[in-house]
Amino acid sequence: MPRRLPVRRDRAHLRIAVATALLATGLTACSSAPAENSGSGNPVAGGTLNVMRANPFEGFELDKQTLNSSFQISDAVLEPLIRAGADGKTLEPGLAASWSYNAGNTVLTLKLQPDAVFSDGTPVTAEDVVFSAETWKSGSNYGATYAVIAKAKAVDEHTVEFRLAYPDTALPAFLSWSSAGVVPDDFGGKPAKEFWQKPVGAGAFTVEKWSANGEVVLKKNPRYWRDGLPHLDQVVSTFAADPNTIGLRLRSGQADMADEIWAVTASTLPKEYVKSQPEHLTPVLLMNTEDPALADPKVRQAIGYALDYSALVTSAYKGFGTVPSGALPTNSKNWAAPSKPYFAHDPAKAKSLLGTAGPAKLTLHYANDPSSGLVAQIVQRNLGAVGVTVELQSGDASSTFATVSGGDYQLGMFSYNAISPDVSDPAWYVAGTRSMFTGLNPDPLVAALGDYAGTDDVKAKAAAVTRVQDILFEQAPFLALAHVSALEGQRTVVKGAEITPWGTYYLDTVWKSE
Amino acid sequence: MTAVAVSQSRARRDGSRTKITVGLSITGLYVLVALLAPWLRPADPLAQDVANALAPPSGGHWLGTDELGRDVLSRILTGASIDLPIALAVTLLPCLLGTALGVVAGYFGGWADAVVMRVSDLLQAFPMYILMIVLVFGLGPGTSSLLISFTAVGWVVYARLVRGEVARVRSAEYVAAAVTGGLRAPRIIALHVLPNTLRQTFVYLTSDLVFAVTALAAFSFLGFGVQQPTPEWGAMIAAAQPYLDAAPWLTVVPGLVIAVLAFGLALLGDGLQDGTGRR
């Protein structure tokens, strides 16, 4: 399952962004209405939603959350200022009713919902947001993302101003991350550790109890500011990773929803139980550019042409995906294609690029989950066909992630996606994680992304994204293997879940028809 | 001896022979399949045909195809040539090590005996499976890790068994005569001690093979053993787990293959034990 590590924007970004500030013009604003639930019929109030999550819950401390399963639960309690639209391309009001930039894109002003209160009845004020912003910035993981907020200032009780260190039109997208949840000023007078154990937020639910590998129980927040929401009285989230268990519990009615189910699980469920989102999740084959056998971009490109992407989509992802059209996840706002066609299965071209100096043997690290094992075997077969022997090395998800993120590998498998409606989100992730663990110099990517953030011109943004795609195509530090749909297992009695392309949804709009 | 006792003894001997015959037949069949697998299998066990994945048993694929469209029958047949040699190796290596240490401990006694026995006490204090899993986890998955962990843990039983037998034989008059005659210890052990102690070890070895076959499958099932795409039976069951509902033959067939082999080996071991009159 995709794991999100914090994006780390470095100083290079700051310099480039300042240089492009002169190009930035206009005003960005949003004040659209909250999303209506998409379920059929009139919502029914009450009931308990039993959800199965595929990953542990990492707790409510905002800076420590890296998994979709954590983001979703956290959002329900510690509502952020801005929400991600279900289409994965729009932003919607959260605790901020509207937001706007100044002409230079250096000041972001947010107007708060006037009726919003925390679950203990205290009103949500600009001072709370100022304290929250300082909390986000102090995090060792996500702090760098919010370092662009040079100063947070309460203009009045319901207006807050973020003065930016450099023009950054992408910041509202990053404010929709769960890491930007709003907390009460000074944690409501509690020590931080105590607060995170049972936080008080302005979200639709309150915390009844939680454990990482067990149940998370959320209760309806009767003071929630959105009229008529949430519909449910209670949400119980249970951790279960085994595909057979998930399938059986859904069918038997013990679970109402199962988040982030594997394609193989989806393929065995009745069709009406499977909600498939637009293709977005992007599994990748990582190639360590610092390994002598893979240092030459031609070798990495050759591997790109050796792979049978159709076989991967058919077999490993059971048809819930498409062949890759670029290195960046599709169905994101401002996504643009590379200027040349992305890699396709062409063994002859692969052999030609490899020449006589290609690597004879490589080791591939992968997690022993239902999809990765199949991908690894197909990759092994494909590379064997062009003369490269691949030794497979499986491990559990955590140890495999530690291996590849530590750079101690030749070939590795990973999956990445956006967690906000902006293509720069996953692109920053690549740049901020040593070009996604491959050792590729991120400076050219950072330069392109700096241009992207510094402008609000759509064409200029598209050009910057194409530059990123081209770099990732020419240098091929990793290969997108497919663009895959996020899959949700859902009983037909469940309505109103508006699922983003990366697989999360807000719990307040969900209801059950029975 | 009464007529009843004679009759019981004969019945036990006949039962033992039957067990040995059936056990040997089953095991022999597996050995034959392992040896002839390259000629018996209808297809390349690694050849993928993703368009034909999870096909049910049919004329083209007698046992269907797996999640990558590979012929299950070919993989099962090839699995015999992978599982049997590894099972034999992970049984023989601890047997050899345990026998050597048991002989040293039983024959020489003293500090050698104390060291071997205390180390074996220490190892037996831990649950065997857990200790093996910890070792394989530390060493990383693969056949060599299995060999090391099985040997490091499995020698203890052989050492205790052999030590007891050697200590018994050591006090026999013919051994005392050999010592008095001036024969050196290695010669005495080789000529007089080992031949009179190995029968029990051999009987236990056949029982241990049953454990090796099932443990090997279990380790591969857990992802610690033989890695994909090698058609090892335990790994095949593990890979088929998500398809339990859609393609049950992927788990049932290798499961049955392991069960029948274990049954054959168990019968063989049981028959040999009955034959020796010891349990």
Cβ-nearest to B242 among A243, A378, A394: A243
Average pLDDT over residues A369-387: 95
State whether residue B50 sits within 8 Å of chain A by CB: yes
Strands in A149-156's sheet, in edge-to-edge order, are: A29-30, A96-101, A107-112, A159-164, A149-156
Quickly list DSSP for A193-220: HHHHHS---SSSEEEEEE-TTS-EEEEE
- Segments of B121-178 assigned E as strands: none
Q: Which of A23-27, A449-453, A488-492 has the lowest mean pLDDT?
A: A23-27
Tell me if A465 sits within 8 A of A9, measured CB to CB: no
pLDDT reading at B85 higher than 70: yes
- Residue A15 pLDDT more than 90? no
Residue A235 β-bridge partners = A49, A218
Residues of A in contact with B229 (CB under 8 A): 377, 380-381, 392
- The closest alpha carbon to A294, from A437, A109, A160, belongs to A437
Amino acid at position A389, single letter: T
- Residue to substitute from B228, B241, B243, interface A, most A β-carbons within 10 A: B228
Give the pLDDT score at A390: 97
In tens, the pLDDT along A321-364 reads 999 999 999 999 999 999 999 999 999 999 999 987 778 899 99
Distance CA A42, CA A31 (A): 26
| Helix intervals (H) in A4-161 | 11-19, 68-77, 126-137
Taking residues A271-294, report their average pLDDT. 97
Q: A394, B227: Cβ pair inside 8 Å?
A: yes
Q: Tell me the two tokens of residue A429.
A: 């992730």
* A·B CB contacts under 8 A: 58
B144 contacts chain A (CB < 8 A): no
For A244, the closest of B67, B141, B242 (CB atoms) is B242
CB-CB neighbors (< 8 A) of B232 in chain A: none
Q: Which residues in chain A have Cβ-Cβ distances shorter than 8 Å to B141? A: 393-395
- Write the residue in B67, B241, B245 that is nearest to A374 by C-beta: B67
Return the pLDDT at B228: 85
Per residue in A473-485, pLDDT (tens digit) is 999 999 999 999 9
Asked if B159 contacts B116 with a C-beta cutoff of 8 angstroms, the reply is yes
Closest residue, chain A, to B241 (C-alpha): A244
CA distance A272 to A269: 8
The pLDDT of residue B15: 79
pLDDT of residue A514: 81
Q: Which residues of A254-289 are buried (b: 16+ CB within 10 A; e: fewer)?
A: ebbbbbbbbbbbbbbbeeebbbbbbbbbbbbbbbbb
A458: tokens are 């759509």
Residue A3 near residue A477 (C-beta atoms within 8 A): no
Give the distance from CA A394 to its chain's centroid: 25
Contact A240/B at CB under 8 A: no
List Cβ neighbours of A41 (8 Å cut-off, separation of 6 or more).
Answer: A495, A513
Residue with tokens 């989806």: A266
Closest to A71 (Cα-Cα) out of A83, B149, A283, A413: A83
Q: Look at A395 and B141 and tell me if their CB atoms are within 8 Å.
A: yes
For residue B50, list chain A residues with Cβ-Cβ distance below 8 A. Answer: 311, 314-315, 378
Question: At residue A278, does pLDDT exceed 60?
Answer: yes
Looking at residue A419, its pLDDT comes to 94
For residue A221, pLDDT over 50 is answered with yes
Structure tokens that stand for B4 in this block: 């009843």
**Is the Cβ pair A394, B244 closer than 8 Å?**
no
Query: ipTM score here?
Result: 0.80
Other Cβ atoms within 10 Å of A342 Cβ, number: 18
Chain B residues whose CB is inside 8 A of the A377 CB are: 48, 68, 228-229
Nearest partner of A23 among A452, A425, A469, judged by Cα = A452
Q: What is the pLDDT of residues A453-464, one digit of tens each?
A: 999 999 999 999
Among candidate residues A497, A487, A456, A418, the one with its CA nearest the CA of residue A177: A418
Closest CB to A264 among B223, B229, B242: B242
The H or E element that residue A287 is part of is strand A282-287
CATH fold of the domain at B3-277? MetI-like fold (1.10.3720)
CA distance A309 to A312: 5
The token pair at A325 is 């059209």
pLDDT at B3: 66
* Yes or no, beta carbons of A392 and B229 under 8 Å apart: yes
Q: Which residues of B touch A315 (CB under 8 A)?
A: 50, 53, 67-69
Whole-number pLDDT of residue A243: 82
**Which pLDDT belongs to residue A16?**
31
Can you give the residue ranges of every domain in chain B? Answer: 3-277
The region that residue B194 occupies, defined by phi over 0 for left and psi between -120 and 50 for alpha, beta otherwise, is alpha
The sign of the dihedral angle between the CA atoms of B209, B210, B214, B217 is positive
Query: What part of A 375-394 touches B (C-beta under 8 Å)?
Result: 376-378, 380-381, 392-394
Listed in sequence order, the residues at least 6 apart from A190 whose beta carbon sits closer than 8 Å to its beta carbon are none
For the entire predicted model, the pTM comes to 0.86
In terms of C-beta distances under 8 Å and separation of at least 24 residues, what long-range contacts does B189-198 make, across chains too?
B189/B103, B189/B107, B193/B103, B193/B107, B193/B166, B193/B169, B194/B103, B196/B165, B196/B169, B196/B172, B197/B103, B197/B162, B197/B165, B197/B166, B197/B169, B198/B99
Q: Which helix (H) or strand (E) holds A437?
A: helix A434-437
In this complex, is the C-beta atom of B52 within 8 Å of any C-beta atom belonging to chain A? no
Residues of A in contact with B246 (CB under 8 A): 267-268
- Distance between CA atoms of residues A314 and A218, nearest Å: 38
Q: Which tens digit of pLDDT belongs to each residue from A111-124?
A: 999 999 999 999 99
Q: Please report the domains of chain A, with CATH numbers, ordered by start residue.
A: 48-241+486-512 (3.40.190.10), 282-484 (3.10.105.10)
Partner-chain contact B243 A262, CB within 8 Å: no
Residue A44 in tokens: 């029914």
Both tokens of residue A365?
């690290």
Residue listed under structure tokens 């591969």: B220
B133 interfacial to chain A (CB closer than 8 Å): no
Residues 6+ apart with CB under 8 A from A132: A180, A181, A182, A183
The candidate with the shortest Cα–Cα distance to B227, out of B145, B114, B165, is B145
Query: Which pLDDT score, from 0 to 100, does residue A22 have?
Result: 26
Asked if A378 lies within 8 A of B48 by C-beta distance, the reply is yes
pLDDT tens, position by position, B170-227: 888 888 898 888 888 899 999 999 988 888 898 899 889 999 999 999 998 888 888 8
Q: Which two tokens stand for residue A79?
A: 């509502």
Mean pLDDT for A246-264 is 93
Higher-scoring residue by pLDDT: A416, A245? A416
CB contact at 8 A, A28 and A107:
no
Any idea what the Cα angle at residue A19 is, between residues A16 and A24, rounded to 5°?
105
Residue B79, pLDDT > 50, answer yes
